[in-house]
Amino acid sequence: MNYRHMETQAWQVLDRAHYLHPFTDHASLRQAGSRVAVRGEGVYVWDTEGDRIIDGLSGLGCVNIGYGRPELVKAAADQMQALSFCQSFFNTTHPSAVLLAEKLSQILPEGLNHVFFQSSGSEANETAVRAVRRYWDLAGKPERRVIIAREAAYHGSTHMAASLSGIPPMYGAGGDIPLPSVTHIKTAYQYRNGPGMDPEEFGILAASWLEERILEIGPDKVAAFFAEPAQSAGGALCPPMSYWPEIQRICKKYDILLVVDEVVCGFGRTGKWFGSFYYGIQPDIMQLGKGITSGYLPLSACILSDRVADLLIEEGGEWAHGFTYSGHPSCCAVALENIRIMEEENIVENAEKELIPYFRAKLETFVGHPLIGDVRSVGLMGGLEIVKNRVTREAYPYEAKIGYHCSGEALKRGLAFRANGDTMSLMPPLIITRQELDTVFEIAREALDATAVAFGVA
């Protein structure tokens, strides 16, 4: 479709009149107007103004193999022609869902063999909570109700998923959030929670906060610990390698289910197929999304370990939970083709070998920038934390919105550069080249320099 330059304002009028955006101040949006994206190819997105934006965010950490892959379009179209919809209720199945469930069980950590499909990460986390609750009821321990999650975590926007998320501004969106059965502990955010410590010692300390909370609540009342391998929404909060082994030891000690949210880290973000491989995690339950289809169609999955699934299947009777679009044929077909492409083109392995060391080295060049207090990354997920005072680590007041200013400076120069609070985040597609990374970091530096000038920082 051909979009003319003169159409932008008309699109913005319609947008502000009818379309409510997620996580948006709509009063401000009405003043500024939306950027209207119309086309994507590779790592680039074009808008109605004809401007080309290099997507430093993979959409929202999901477009892992880039935009415009005709194979995924064909997979969706072929499936729609053959079978456009199939419900999975009433003892009914279809090949795409069965084959995808089988494929996932082959590439996931050992023991994760039972797959339940949804359409979003929020729904996958809701399903995980339902499975945790049902498991302990069937195990004869219904008093195990409390779920422990972490500050600054993001697990979704539905009622329970927002409660799991450790982001207080989300709690004002309505609905008695967080729910009383959810409690949060500090996360492995060394720049704020353990400055000056040896990283390995800090990892042990950060894990100990879980044990402290378990003992405070009472081990017989704790059902599960929910966590991402590394946290994206908090601004690339990457735990030391000592953290996860200690977390697993604690969960095993108190027989608490370990629920690992891989919605962002899954499908190559860390340089391994799953963040659980990178950190050596063996989950009881795992949630997937985003990169499962590279964002081409909405699909998520909640994977149950044999320990959990066997009890639900053998003792649980009817699993009274599900969605109209659970295992949607076209979404599953696209996911299968996406995984095939990633395997055939060695996309994850190439990212680990060729891109991630280069990405990390480029990030490190920002150490010493007058605005940057901390530089951190895991795989192709990095964060540059803006601070007011690099010595005291003092942050800018929320009202300054310096991160948003920097994001705007980057966007007008042609880079999608996300502000997670005052941490500038990058999560480029796994198919980005070194030359394209050069462009990403060149614009990022220009944006930070311009922001420093605007805020009077030498």
- pLDDT tens sequence across 238-277: 999 999 999 999 999 999 999 999 999 999 999 999 999 9
Read off the pLDDT band of 176 (50, 70, 90).
Answer: confident
- Give the other-Cβ count within 10 Å of 435's Cβ: 7
Res. 30: pLDDT tops 90: no
Of 43, 38, 1, 12, the C-alpha closest to 435 is: 43
Place of tokens 């000690």: 253
Give dist(CA 120, CA 298) in Å, integer: 6
154 Cβ neighbours under 8 A, 6+ residues apart: 165, 167, 228, 231, 232, 233, 234
Candidate from 185-189, 232-236, 346-350, 379-383 with smallest mean pLDDT = 232-236
What value does the mean pLDDT take over residues 391-405? Answer: 96
Question: Domains of the chain: which residue ranges?
Answer: 35-68+346-454, 71-344
By the 8 A CB rule, do 154 and 165 touch? yes
- Give the other-Cβ count within 10 Å of 409's Cβ: 21
Res. 1: pLDDT tops 60: no
Read off the pLDDT band of 4 (50, 70, 90).
Answer: low
Q: Which two tokens stand for residue 366?
A: 């920002």
Strand positions, DSSP E, 100-157: 112-118, 146-150
Q: Which residue has the higher pLDDT, 149 or 35?
A: 149
Virtual torsion, Cα 199, 200, 204, 207, nearest 10 deg? 60
Output the pLDDT for position 7. Answer: 87
Q: What average pLDDT does the structure give for the chain?
A: 96
Give dist(CA 283, CA 265) in Å, integer: 14
Radius of gyration of the chain (CA): 22
Buried b vs exposed e over 275-289: b needs ≥16 C-beta within 10 Å? Answer: bbbbbebbbbbbbbb
Read off the pLDDT band of 207 (50, 70, 90).
Answer: very high
Determine the topology of domain 71-344 in CATH.
Aspartate Aminotransferase; domain 2 (3.40.640)
Res. 394: pLDDT tops 70: yes
Give dist(CA 78, CA 334) in Å, integer: 10
Of 389, 375, 373, 353, the C-alpha closest to 441 is: 375
Res. 126: pLDDT tops 80: yes
Answer whether 0.75 is exceeded by the pTM.
yes
By the 8 A CB rule, do 437 and 355 touch? yes
Output the pLDDT for position 223. Answer: 98
Output the pLDDT for position 2. Answer: 59
Of 346, 325, 348, the C-alpha closest to 429 is: 348
Res. 300: pLDDT tops 70: yes
DSSP notation for 387-453: -SBTTTTBPPPGGG-HHHHHHHHHHTTTEE-EEETTEEEE---TT--HHHHHHHHHHHHHHHHHHHH
Output the pLDDT for position 29. Answer: 86
What value does the mean pLDDT take over residues 373-383? Answer: 98
206 Cβ neighbours under 8 A, 6+ residues apart: 186, 187, 188, 190, 193, 194, 239, 240, 243
Res. 407: pLDDT tops 60: yes
Place of tokens 């009821």: 137
CATH number for the domain whose boundaries are 35-68+346-454? 3.90.1150.10
φ, ψ at 97 (rounded to 5°)? -70, -40
Output the pLDDT for position 134. Answer: 98
